[in-house]
Amino acid sequence: MPQHPSHPSIPLALAVAAEALESFRRDEASLAAVDAAASTLVATLRAGGKVLICGNGGSLCDAAHFAEELTGRFRADRAPLAAIACTEPGHITCTANDYGFEHVFSRWVKGLGRPGDTLILLSTSGNSPNMLRAREAASEMGIATISLLGRRGGEMAGRCTHEIIVPGATSDRIQELHMLILHAWVEAIEASL
């Protein structure tokens, strides 16, 4: 192993990620919020509701990944669980074209959501208009909301049933913690159901 890595940014990236995770692990209020959100997800699925997930960019990819862990499998064989990520290109492009991009998630929530469901909102900034409208639509429909946010939570802060704000100065570090939390929720759901 070389004494001086040819890409010093790699160990730095790992160190920054480890520091963000350690900071989050020491935050008892955040861990309690993750646990409370897991209980809501378990209760939703146990009662026959579904989990809806949305996000922009990398967060959209994380939403899709979380949904497939529930409808497919995670670590062990089990019955599929009801989860849908808003990733359908026809819906997104039609809605963006006809109504504006700020409506792509709220119209989806109104079309597919029902009282007793839970909506997870993945946003590193908490400021995306389409995410804020989705939260508003869910709230009006009696759908529980869980936000996974970064920085200070942006405009979404304080507006959801459950809120987890992770540390991280950049979107990539925030998304890494979001994915870790999503995986921990799948583990909790499988253990509970």
**DSSP assignment of 101-133:** GGGHHHHHHHHH--TT-EEEEE-SSS--HHHHH
The residues spanned by each domain of the chain are 28-192
**Average model confidence (pLDDT) for the chain?**
96
Dump pLDDT digits (tens) for 134-155: 999 999 999 999 999 999 999 9
CB 108, CB 74: distance < 8 Å = no
Instruction: Tell me yes or no: is domain 28-192 CATH 3.40.50.10490.
Output: yes
Tell me what percent of the residues of the chain surpass a pLDDT of 70: 98
Name the CA dihedral angle for 76, 82, 87, 88, rounded to a multiple of 10 degrees.
120
Helix 9-25 × helix 171-192 angle, to 10°: 50
Amino acid found at 180:
L
Angle, CA of 145, 151 and 156, to the nearest 5°: 30
